[in-house]
């Protein structure tokens, strides 16, 4: 059996399809061979408007903790994650700048930097941790990073108490003045991942016209590849191609449903009208991106900071942001908890999908780190300490999961970022307002 390069790609007219890691790409000794390992990936998932913390925080510490109500959907992957409490984002606080906590929440989430208060073009923040890593390891993959979301944003104008919309719409920042615009359309994200630079526009137009699968465009390469690999790899390829096609079909169904609908504001083509389906499609694209080593760095905004989306599918008719200022009213708190748990359900889906992808003697979740959280805890009081944070994945075997870690109050989130930077193969002595590495996770 011929050994394949780990950079093997399937190519066709205007498309390039990455492959999962196959046995044929490894030395005879396989994953046990010295120096043979899977890369460590990092994903950062942001949710807005804080959380109802009494239903989020476990009471017990260590390995014997019980998942509280909001985190119950994670019961099947409890052993693959750490619940972290006691972390803070000082740069999300006013620090003399007055109102605007929601804008600062998303701005500081991955930058640990204080945003310059402006609604003009003179935005200034700091480089986010994903882009810091991309600047060092991004050239090892086809895409340095992938930025996703579910709500369109603006890069200018006023969105929160004198803060630019750029701060509320982005968590990924290439530099202090350059946010990385997120993609909210699953079809466009799919084309970005697998399009072939230069010819992709024509290929996309042709594929849309004939409704052809991307797999049709790489059919010849696929036939050649299947002749070169063994039975185990052929089965793995069949599973992979099936998942690619299923995602394409879901994108097509979403586009068709949007065209048939007659609401006041129809969804753009390719964007599911159902929130959960939209989120899960994006999560599935992140799994594909990691599985094929298209990128090792992803960010995902479940909604823009301060989002006022309603969730009628779970019988929450009022807007999320409006409810978050609940003034301790029991009914509003109960509705917010339902939103929190609903989002955690989608996150649990993502972790299970990662865990289902095998990589040698491990799985994709074991070879990843996934940060899930917000830079606001109690949105009613705009608190930026004791944040709702989960770190899922084993970081290539370097993270001791299955625990609730209660940290010293005011532990900077940037300490966690430093430890994640180490594990993806980048280097930094400091990041943002860090005071050291978060050794507790190792």
CA distance 415 to 387: 14
CA distance 379 to 176: 26
DSSP state of 38: P
Asked whether residue 5 is assigned to any structural domain, the reply reads no
CA distance 359 to 37: 9
Same domain as 432, residue 401: yes
Radius of gyration (C-alpha) of the chain in whole angstroms: 22
Same domain as 97, residue 86: yes
- Look up the domain containing 211 and give its range: 185-270
Query: β-pairing, 10-12 with 81-88?
Result: unpaired
Of 270, 298, 321, the domain-final residue:
270
Predicted TM-score of the model (pTM):
0.92
Residues in the chain: 442
Q: Is 224 helix (H, G, I), strand (E, B) or coil?
A: helix
Same domain as 257, residue 240: yes
pLDDT for residue 313? 96
Domain count, the chain: 2
Asked whether residue 10 is assigned to any structural domain, the reply reads no
pLDDT for residue 211? 57
Which residues touch 425 (CB under 8 Å, ≥6 apart)? 39, 40, 136, 137
Instruction: Report pLDDT digits (tens) over 297-328.
Output: 999 999 999 999 999 999 999 999 999 999 99
Q: What is the CATH number of the domain that holds 80?
A: 3.40.720
Same domain as 287, residue 378: yes
Same domain as 226, residue 154: no
Asked whether residue 78 is assigned to any structural domain, the reply reads yes
DSSP state of 90: G
Same domain as 291, residue 156: yes
Same domain as 224, residue 213: yes
Same domain as 256, residue 123: no
Same domain as 219, residue 99: no
Asked whether residue 22 is assigned to any structural domain, the reply reads no
Same domain as 116, residue 91: yes
Same domain as 178, residue 129: yes
- Ranges of the chain whose pLDDT falls below 50: 29-36, 262
Q: Which of 111, 120, 105 is nearest to 162 (CA)?
A: 120
Asked whether residue 337 is assigned to any structural domain, the reply reads no
CA distance 26 to 29: 8
Of 249, 270, 291, the domain-final residue:
270
Q: What is the DSSP string of 384-400?
A: -SS--EEEES-TTTTS-
Asked whether residue 323 is assigned to any structural domain, the reply reads no
Asked whether residue 338 is assigned to any structural domain, the reply reads no
Same domain as 228, residue 121: no
Asked whether residue 194 is assigned to any structural domain, the reply reads yes
First to last CA, the chain: 39
Of 270, 294, 321, the domain-final residue:
270
CA distance 397 to 42: 14
């Amino acid at each position: 059996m011929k050994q394949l390069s780990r950079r093997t790609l399937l190519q066709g007219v205007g498309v390039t399809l990455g492959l999962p890691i196959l046995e044929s790409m490894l030395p005879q000794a396989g994953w046990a061979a010295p120096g043979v390992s899977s890369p460590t990936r990092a994903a950062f998932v942001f949710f807005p408007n804080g959380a109802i913390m009494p239903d989020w925080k476990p009471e017990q510490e260590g390995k014997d903790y019980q998942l509280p109500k909001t985190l119950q959907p994670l019961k099947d992957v409890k052993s693959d994650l750490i619940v972290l409490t006691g972390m803070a984002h000082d740069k999300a606080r006013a620090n003399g700048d007055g109102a605007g906590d929601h804008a600062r929440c998303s701005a500081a989430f991955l930058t640990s930097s204080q945003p310059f208060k402006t609604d003009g073009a003179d935005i200034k923040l700091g480089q986010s941790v994903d882009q810091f890593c991309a600047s060092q390891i991004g050239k090892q993959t086809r895409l340095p990073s992938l930025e996703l979301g579910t709500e369109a944003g603006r890069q200018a104008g006023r969105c929160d108490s004198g803060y630019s919309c750029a701060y509320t719409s982005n968590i990924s920042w290439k530099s202090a003045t350059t946010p990385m615009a997120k993609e909210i359309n699953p079809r466009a994200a799919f084309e970005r991942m697998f399009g072939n630079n230069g010819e992709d526009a024509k290929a996309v137009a042709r594929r849309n016209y004939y409704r052809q699968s991307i797999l049709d465009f790489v059919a010849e390469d696929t036939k050649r590849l299947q002749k070169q690999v063994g039975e185990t790899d052929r089965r793995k390829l069949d599973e992979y191609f099936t998942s690619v096609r299923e995602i394409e079909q879901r994108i097509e169904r979403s586009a068709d449903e949007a065209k048939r609908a007659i609401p006041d504001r129809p969804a753009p083509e390719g964007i599911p009208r159902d929130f959960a389906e939209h989120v899960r499609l994006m999560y599935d694209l992140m799994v594909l991106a990691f599985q094929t080593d298209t990128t090792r760095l992803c960010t995902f905004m479940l909604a823009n900071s301060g989002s006022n989306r309603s969730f009628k599918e779970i019988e929450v008719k009022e807007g999320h942001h409006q409810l978050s200022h609940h003034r301790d009213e029991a009914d509003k708190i109960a509705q917010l908890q339902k939103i929190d748990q609903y989002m955690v359900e989608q996150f649990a889906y993502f972790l299970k999908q990662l865990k289902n992808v095998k990589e040698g003697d491990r799985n994709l979740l074991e070879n990843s780190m996934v940060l899930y959280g917000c830079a606001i805890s109690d949105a009613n009081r705009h608190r930026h300490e004791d944040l709702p944070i989960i770190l899922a994945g084993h970081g290539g075997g370097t993270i001791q999961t299955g625990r609730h870690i209660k940290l010293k109050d005011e532990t900077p989130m940037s300490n966690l970022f430093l430890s994640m930077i180490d594990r993806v193969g980048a280097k930094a002595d400091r990041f943002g307002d860090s005071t050291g590495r978060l050794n507790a996770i190792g």
